[in-house]
Structure formats: C-alpha cells, structure tokens
Structure 1
Amino acid sequence: MGYAEKRGDYWRARYKLDSGKYGTVQDANGAKVEFRTRREAKKGADEAEVKGLRPVAPSVRMRFGNWANAWYERQDLAASTMQNYRRHIEEHLLPTFEDREVGSITSADVDAWAKSERMAGYADASVKTWRATLHLILADAVDEGLIVANPATRRRGRGKRAGRSRSRGPEKAITNVLGVLLLAERAALLSGRDDEFTALVTLGFTGTRWGEVVGLEAQYVRPTEIRIEWQLYELDTGELHHCPPKDDSRRTVVVPAWLSGLLRAQTAKTCGCHGRAYVFSGHRPPNGSVRQLGPKLVDVARRAGVSTGTVSAVLNNRDSVAAATRETVVQAIADLGYVRNAASGDLAAHWRRSGFASWLFQPAATGRYPGRNPRPVPILGEPWPGVPVRGRNAAGRADACWVPIAPGLTPHGLRHTYKTMMIELGTPPVLMDEQLGHLDGSVQARYSHTTPEMRRKLTDGLTDLWVAAVEARAEISPRSPVGVLDEMLRTRSSPKFLPTEIKRRVRASSS
C-alpha cells in the first residue's frame, strides 16, 4: 500500500514499484506532485498503485469554471436534466468556485460553501442536490486524471448533528377527498370553466404528476384507465418539451368509470406546438403580446392623448366617454390601423406551472392570492361557495372571502394525497407502485404482481370515496356554480351519476 510522506509544507505520495522499491507520484512532465493534505497524498499513492503503478497527476492550472463548461458540453442527457445541471452550475457553483484551480479545491472549501448556501436560506435538500452535481463534475475530473481525489465526497454521517433528521424537509401538505372536490370547484370558479375541475380531480384520484396531466393526450383516455406515455416539461426558455415521464415511468393507471367519463367529456384540442390532441388546454391568452406585430392598445392611447382605460371604454361602446374624446380615439384607431385581438383570440395551448399555481391553485387552496402581501380572493357569497369578483374595486364590491382548505398544499401534494387514499383503502403495495410509476427493486416486489381483482377493488374504493364527498358537498349546498359539479349534485340519486350496482353497494354499506 502507498503512503503519504511529509516534506516541509507539502505531502508527497509514495507507492510500491514492481521491483519492491517505492516511487513518488509524478505529473505528466515528470515532476513530483506536491499534495496539500496527507489524505490527498495517501489517496494518490493508493490509486497509482492500483492503476498499475501509473503516476496520478492533478491539474494545478485548469480553473473550475473552464472544466465545468467543458464537462457540461460533454453531457448528452434529457433536456430537463441538462437544464437542471445548468442552473446548479451557473447559479450556485460558479459564483464560488469559478476562478479556483480544480486541484486547489479542498473538502473544507466544499463544506464551507454548503454551509454558506444553507445560511443564505436555501433548503438542505436543495444544497444536497447542488453538492451532488459538484460531486459528479469533480468525479469526472478524477477519472480524467485532473485531480487525485474528489473533495466533494462526504463520508457517511460526517458533520451531522442529529442523524438523518436534520436533512429531512418539512412534511408534505395533503388533503382529504372532500378537500380535493372543494379545491377543484374553486379552481373552476377562478378560471370560469369546467376544465380545471376535471384536471384537479384527476390529479387527486390518479396521483399523476403535473407534467403528465398537462401532456395527457386524448388517445390515451380509455373507459377504465389512462395511459401515461408522455409529459410536457416546461423549460426555462418557456418551451414545453414533449418527453417521457420522469424516470421513464410509462404506465397504465386504472381510473373509476366516473372519472373516465369526466376526462372523455373534455373537448380535446390539437396544439400548434406539438401537433397532438391534448385533453387539457391553457386558461389564459398566450403570453406573446409583446412579440405581436402591429399597433397595440397603448399605442392608440398615446396617439389620442388618453388613457388605455378610455380606449378600452370606446372599444366596448360605453356611454361614459364624451363624444369629442370618442371621435379622437376612433381617429387614432383608423390612423394606426389598430385591430383588436389581431394576433389571436384563442387561449394558450397549455397551462404554465407558475401561472396555474399563482392564479388558480394557491388561491383555491388558501383563499388568498400569493405575493409579498397576500390578499384575500374577493367573492360574492351567493351562490355557495361564492363567485370571484374581478375588475376595478373588486374588494369593495365583494361581500365575502374564502377560508383556507389546505394551507401549504401544492399540485404535487395531490400525488401524496392519492397515495394516502390508497393506503386507507388497503391497496397492495405492488399496485400502489404501479399507479404512481414507482419502481421497487426488492425481492418481495419481484415476486408480487397486480391482478384485475386488485384493480377492481381500488376503483370501487375510489368510487365510494367520491360518492361520499359529493354527498357531503350536497349537504353544504345542493347546487354549484360549476356546471359539471352542479350536474353531479342534481343527478346524484339517479343511475346517470353512477352505475346502479355501485349505488346499491353504497346504500347497503351505509344502512
């Protein structure tokens, strides 16, 4: 075995030669390598001996920034993974290590960087992810012979104060079945259509990921199941990348007949970006007005010397505008050739994660719009659960606001909610993994298989939960401003709502 030898202010690595004598680790030019620490020298000597007594030479000149860029260019991974690596490198690694020589980075430097990131307010899980990327970059530097040891390697249990508990994130917020229904109803009221109701119920009763629901194609919706083949992953450029689901977890998810009916009732639209017919589309106009050619509303206002609100009033034929001002605005419209909604009056082809969370999901879950100063969602209290008020002086015209349903809940939290539902229903672990797209590599999982009876019991149990949630909602108020839910409430006692056999089973269980 090799050993480290102290030589003044540095260490040299000594390893055994074929002749039985000891040699010193040298660089490519034949000069002995001067290691900064005993540990690095010992590891360099051992690696030289293991690699056929070949000297291991670190690079004392290449800077981390140059190596990280070269490393990134060599990767050929999924677009989402490449995007994440770029974020980690540019936002968290380069600010600290860019001008450092690769061979000069020590374990103490990496630990100090990780500590500073946590002190800046970043979550432990995030810092752990960025450190893993740094470890990958430096591990490849070791393989290339640029350095002899990976300073980002952390020995198990080293530097922890309280075992594993310190690195655990906060518990994920979940809700119950009635919470899913109420959340979906509020989101539909905020968007003004039924699509968001169906989408959130789908998230809560299938455990699909956000990108998988956005990328759900009409051809994969079947009477008793949906097939997850693709997802739409939103990149930093704004492009929605059509790619396989996370971890290539293609799967068939069994769904109750009532949910399949909701999905098939959706009007599928073929988007221009992928040429595929998707079940769901966006709820707002596309964010492209700044790139549209031709005059805009603000241009008309500037030419006429009025506000954009006055121009909008003229376009909407309101009587509040004076005749002379109206003529001025009309003349400006004619002079500029302004055409209202010239680019497109259609909605965006797909939801955007941030827009959906900010303007639909979070207000529905918490009853407040997000921001530095979260404000309550103004509503008119009748009909229950209230209709959101919009426009000027919305808060003054409202007479009520929503109370929270599930503070801290996120769209991914509905995936956790679905897993909890399955546990409560006694679903076998092998079927739960199949539904969620998880892979269990244990021996027990290898000898476990799903059966049609397992799937039938799951769909029956989900149907029971849904029936109970609709009944509980009807007790609060027998009608709903959301069309699809109102239809369910009105017909819940008829075979149109659920198959007769299931209704008979539900009645028998409650008697």
Structure 2
Amino acid sequence: MGYGENRGDYWRGRYKIAPGKYGTVKDEYGKTRKFTTQRAAEKAAAVEEARVVAEARAAQAEAELPPEPERLTFGQYAERWYGEQDLAVSTMQNYKHHLEDHLLPTFQDIPLHEITKADVLAWERQEKALYEPSSVKTWRSTLHLAFSDAVDEGLRESNPAWRRRGRGKRAGRSRNRAPEKVVTNALGFLLIAERTSLLSGRDDEFIAMTTKGYQGIRWGELVGLEKQYVRPATVRIEQQIYELDSGELVRCPPKDDSYRTTDAPSFIASLLARQIARTDPKPCVCHGRTYVFSGYGAANGSVSRPGAKLADVARRAGVSTGTVSNVLNRPNTVTAVTRARVAQAIADLGYVRNAASGEQAAHWRRNGFAQWLFQPAVTGWYPKKAPQEAHPVPILADPWPGIPARGRGAAARADAAWLPIAKGMTPHSARHFQKVLLDTLKTPKVPKDERMGHLDGSVQAGYSHVTDEMREELVDGLTGIWEAALEARRRMCPTSPVAVLNDLLAGAQQRSAE
C-alpha cells in the first residue's frame, strides 16, 4: 500500500512495484513530486500502486491466453498437440523423436498458418540428403498428422504436408524403395541360433531365437514372455516389455493390442519347458513378474555391490587378475602351487564367482543383444567399439562349429573364424522368417494373420475363421521344417557345444538309426 515519506521540508509518495522494491511518485518530466502534506503524498502513491497492479494483472492474463491463430507458431502448436496424444509409449517416444530431432529445428518459429507446401518440400529435400528416404517418409507422416489435426481445429485451411498418391513419374516410387529384407532358410536360422548361444555361453539364447523364429513373436513380446503364459501346446502373447530411450523397461500391451494365443509345435513347447525347468525363473525386481528369459550381461550397479571381487582374490593370492581368471577358466594353464594359493584366497574371502561383479541383468537390452550376440552370429564379426575396430569373432575350431575364444590374447589363440550366414539380418528378421515359413506352407490368410498378430479389417475377413484342421496342418508343417533343418545340421556334425542342441541332435541321430 502506498505511503507518504517525510523528507524534512516536503513529503514524497512511495509505492510498491515488486516484492522488496518501491518506486517514488514522479511528474511528467521524471522528477520527484514534492507534496506539502502526508495525506496528499499517500493518495498519489496509492494511485501509482493501483496502476502497477493493474498492468501486472493484464500482462499475466495476456500470457495465459492462447496465442491468436495468426501468431501461433508451429513449435507452440506441436507442444500442445503432442501433450494431447494418448498412445502407446513406443509411439509417443517415436513422435517425440520426430518432432524434436527433425521437425522443430526447421519449423519451430514459423507461424503455423504461414507454412507452405514449398516449405515442406524444401525440408524433405534437406532431410533426404542426410537420412534414408524411408525414415524421412515416416517423419513426414507425423508432420502430416499434426497438420491434419490443425485443419480440424480450424487453425489452417489446408494441409501442406499432404501429397497425392502416385504423384509424379511412375519410376518415382522406386527411388524411395527400402533395401530388400534379408532372411535365411531353416538351416541358416538354426545355425544363427546356435551361434548366439555359443557367444553367450548358455542355452537361453538358442531357445529364445528358436521360439522367436518359429512362433513369429516380436522382440518385446519375447522379452516380456511370462512363465504363466507358456502352456503345453500354446504360447499366449499378453504383454510386451518396451525399452525407452531413458533405459527404463516398460511393461505394456503388445503392439496394436495384438493379444493372441499362438499354437506351439511340440518341439517349441519342449524347449520352453526345458528353459523353465533349468532356470527356475523368479519374479524380477522391476515388474514383480516371472519371465521365461533373463538378460545376458552384468546388471547395472552390480560391480559396486558388496562382496569380494576378482581383484581382491588376486591381491590376497599375490598374483594378477589374469592368473585368477585362468585358474577359474583354464586351470590346466596354471601350476598346481598357484592354483592352490588362489583356491585358498577364494576360500578366505568367501568369493562367489559372478555374484558381485557379474550378476545377470533381469532382461535383455535390445542394442546389447543385437550388437554383441545376434550380429556376430549372423556376420561372424564383432562390431567396432573404441578403441577396437570391427574384427572377426576369434574361434577355437574344435569342437565344431567352434567356440568363441575369450579374454586376453583371444585373437592369438584362435585358429578359425565364422563365415557370414545372412549378413544384413536383424533380430526382427525372425518375424520375416516366420512369415516366409507360413508362405512356404501355403497357410491360409486367417491363421497367418492370427499368428503374426495382424488385423484384417476387410469385410471378407469377417466370414473367415480358423479351424482345428488349419491349426494342425500349420503345426505339422512347422515341425516338418524344423526336423529337416535339424537333420541337415546333424549331417554337418552330429554334436554341438550347445547342450540343448546337442541333445536334440542325439535324438535326431536315434530317429535316423531307427
């Protein structure tokens, strides 16, 4: 509230302009007004303070009002538009990438109603010079969707990202054609599954890859496959685990709500039963759910948890960590005296192998699995990782198809390398592999769509139904393809370092002898 301040021979008016800040009443020339009475100074100060409050309220009200259509920028609209979407976490994450990384850098400060078709075409040409045309097409689709909603709201009269189908030369469509997807045959897929298991050093990856290929399930559905949904003759797809860019693993419905029950051939049912019996999975700490498959690699933070480490054992035994590793992995390369000293140090410290420094993560990570297991299995090469360049997977040739050499000097100890099987395949290619198998078996469209989790919205689809005969024929066909691939693998070598595959080969050998 304004007040009068005595300055000896006059009074001046003082009023609040901000918390802890006061102004002085001045005349039209910017000089302090001098009042003869306190009352006059207070009245003038009150008038000025009321003006300041009114201006602040008007400014706040203007800031809270949405911008007029002619002043609304694309950035302001895109922020509101994104906030109004209520879609799957994967779709929301993709939209955020499209906006922040590719659309806003160009269109953010341009008024929404001023963006023209020429602006969109110029942006598209610029992006195609840097990125794959198929990616640019996806980003333009997001831009088209945002503008379509703006048209519906009356913020624009037309959609500048709209493009007439088939516009331009007939040959124009081929320019944006994506590279052909790489797939392999049943034997090639079996060999890839075997290699992933050899790289991980456990049966899990062989069973997982075989399940993915012959059930046709997506990556997130494989990671999120719960024990309760593995049944004697079916696998139920009820949830998936989606990995956000932040690293968080989100449990959410399968893509496009494609809940489904897929028929499982007997060999898949047996493999999954073996996986569950061998690993005895427990509920994970992140979701409290019991999943069939666990991750490969150390869990985040495991190296900092309590417990003796490999380095502690080495210090106590008076040897290097490499020597301790040799005692644990290649004891024949270490003298008996050294082995005894390391064994005593392990006993004294209560060291448990992998308990502190190598605790397994609860779930696979998409990039880790693709880079360090799947791609080396498919190509025979490890990817580049500074300071190392890409290099062949070092292999000890015996037993066939070779054991990946590990640790220091692995390349020097190796005596073989893997040839590529299907360079260019990705983990998602297992879905394409399943589709190829279904096409090979001439499976009708309805059971094919049901198995793949695709939705046919046509009228004709409502008149088609999956019969028991279709299911039996499908399962029998997949089983026949699997057994032929297993027999072809047996002819290459009757044994395998992968325990589960070795047992399968022994069974194939017995059937062949009969």
What's the TM-score once normalised by structure 1's chain length?
Answer: 0.76
Q: Among residues 69, 72, 78, which one is paired with 2:79 in the alignment?
A: 69
> What SS does the aligned partner of 2:139 have?
helix
Partner of 1:391: 407
Q: Among residues 429, 433, 439, which one is paired with 2:449 in the alignment?
A: 433
Partner of 1:54: none
> What SS does the aligned partner of 2:161 have?
coil
Deviations 1:386-435 (A, max 9, x none): 00001112111100000011111111111111111111112111111111
User: What one-letter code is carried by the residue in structure 2 that aligns with 1:164?
Assistant: R
Q: Quick check: 1:406 aligned with 2:406?
A: no
- CA–CA separation in structure 1 for the residues paired with 2:111 and 2:142: 18
**Stretch deviating more after TM superposition (242-251 or 268-277):** 268-277
- CA–CA separation in structure 1 for the residues paired with 2:380 and 2:367: 17
User: What one-letter code is carried by the residue in structure 2 that aligns with 1:98?
Assistant: Q
Q: Structure 1's 76 and 168: CA in aligned 2 closer, same or farther, altered over 3 A?
A: same
Q: Structure 1's 176 and 108: CA in aligned 2 closer, same or farther, altered over 3 A?
A: same
Q: Structure 1's 160 and 220: CA in aligned 2 closer, same or farther, altered over 3 A?
A: farther
**Stretch deviating more after TM superposition (154-163 or 234-243):** 154-163
Partner of 1:103: 113
Q: Structure 1's 378 and 314: CA in aligned 2 closer, same or farther, altered over 3 A?
A: closer
Partner of 1:172: 181
User: What one-letter code is carried by the residue in structure 2 that aligns with 1:402?
Assistant: W
**Stretch deviating more after TM superposition (151-160 or 379-388):** 151-160
- CA–CA separation in structure 2 for the residues paired with 1:485 and 1:198: 9
TM-fit CA distance, 1:345: 4.5
Q: Quick check: 1:229 aligned with 2:238?
A: yes
Deviations 1:132-190 (A, max 9, x none): 11122222222333322221122223355624323321111111111111111100000
Is the 1:216–1:279 Cα contact (8 Å) retained in structure 2? yes
TM-fit CA distance, 1:130: 0.7
- CA–CA separation in structure 2 for the residues paired with 1:129 and 1:138: 15
Partner of 2:26: none
> What SS does the aligned partner of 1:253 have?
strand
Is the 1:214–1:232 Cα contact (8 Å) retained in structure 2? yes
Q: Among residues 67, 78, 81, which one is paired with 2:88 in the alignment?
A: 78
User: What one-letter code is carried by the residue in structure 2 that aligns with 1:111?
Assistant: L
Q: Quick check: 1:274 aligned with 2:287?
A: yes
Is the 2:311–2:321 Cα contact (8 Å) retained in structure 1? no
- List aligned pairs for 1:17-416, cutoff 5 A: 59-120=69-130, 122-159=131-168, 162-267=171-276, 268-288=281-301, 292=304, 310=320, 345-371=358-384, 373-416=389-432
TM-fit CA distance, 1:131: 0.9
Q: Structure 1's 134 and 401: CA in aligned 2 closer, same or farther, altered over 3 A?
A: same
Is the 2:302–2:358 Cα contact (8 Å) retained in structure 1? no
- CA–CA separation in structure 2 for the residues paired with 1:295 and 1:70: 50
User: What one-letter code is carried by the residue in structure 2 that aligns with 1:244?
Assistant: P
Q: Structure 1's 399 and 251: CA in aligned 2 closer, same or farther, altered over 3 A?
A: same
Structure 1 gaps, min length 5: 1-56, 496-502
- CA–CA separation in structure 2 for the residues paired with 1:224 and 1:453: 15
TM-fit CA distance, 1:492: 1.9
TM-fit CA distance, 1:296: 11
- CA–CA separation in structure 2 for the residues paired with 1:155 and 1:284: 49
Is the 2:151–2:158 Cα contact (8 Å) retained in structure 1? yes
TM-fit CA distance, 1:461: 1.2
- CA–CA separation in structure 2 for the residues paired with 1:316 and 1:298: 12
Partner of 1:47: none
User: What one-letter code is carried by the residue in structure 1 that aligns with 2:261?
Assistant: T
- CA–CA separation in structure 2 for the residues paired with 1:341 and 1:221: 29
The number of equivalent residue pairs is 421
Deviations 1:169-212 (A, max 9, x none): 11111111111111111000000000000011111111111111
User: What one-letter code is carried by the residue in structure 2 that aligns with 1:473?
Assistant: R
Is the 1:58–1:147 Cα contact (8 Å) retained in structure 2? no
Is the 1:380–1:398 Cα contact (8 Å) retained in structure 2? yes
User: What one-letter code is carried by the residue in structure 2 that aligns with 1:116?
Assistant: Q
Identity of aligned residues (%): 58
- CA–CA separation in structure 2 for the residues paired with 1:84 and 1:357: 20
TM-fit CA distance, 1:341: 7.1
> What SS does the aligned partner of 1:76 have?
coil
Deviations 1:29-61 (A, max 9, x none): xxxxxxxxxxxxxxxxxxxxxxxxxxxx98232
Q: Structure 1's 160 and 110: CA in aligned 2 closer, same or farther, altered over 3 A?
A: farther
- CA–CA separation in structure 1 for the residues paired with 2:245 and 2:259: 24
Q: Quick check: 1:484 aligned with 2:494?
A: no
What's the TM-score once normalised by structure 2's chain length?
Answer: 0.75
> What SS does the aligned partner of 1:80 have?
helix
- CA–CA separation in structure 2 for the residues paired with 1:203 and 1:105: 45
Q: CA RMSD in A?
A: 3.1
- CA–CA separation in structure 2 for the residues paired with 1:342 and 1:255: 35
- CA–CA separation in structure 2 for the residues paired with 1:165 and 1:369: 33
Is the 1:297–1:311 Cα contact (8 Å) retained in structure 2? no
Q: Structure 1's 293 and 483: CA in aligned 2 closer, same or farther, altered over 3 A?
A: closer
**Stretch deviating more after TM superposition (344-353 or 281-290):** 281-290
**Stretch deviating more after TM superposition (159-168 or 449-458):** 159-168
TM-fit CA distance, 1:379: 0.3
- List aligned pairs for 1:432-471, cutoff 5 A: 432-471=448-487
Is the 1:187–1:197 Cα contact (8 Å) retained in structure 2? yes
Structure 2 gaps, min length 5: 1-66, 329-333
TM-fit CA distance, 1:244: 0.8
User: What one-letter code is carried by the residue in structure 2 that aligns with 1:492?
Assistant: A
- CA–CA separation in structure 1 for the residues paired with 2:495 and 2:202: 16
Deviations 1:476-503 (A, max 9, x none): 11110000010111122547xxxxxxx9
Q: Quick check: 1:421 aligned with 2:437?
A: yes
User: What one-letter code is carried by the residue in structure 1 that aligns with 2:91?
Assistant: T
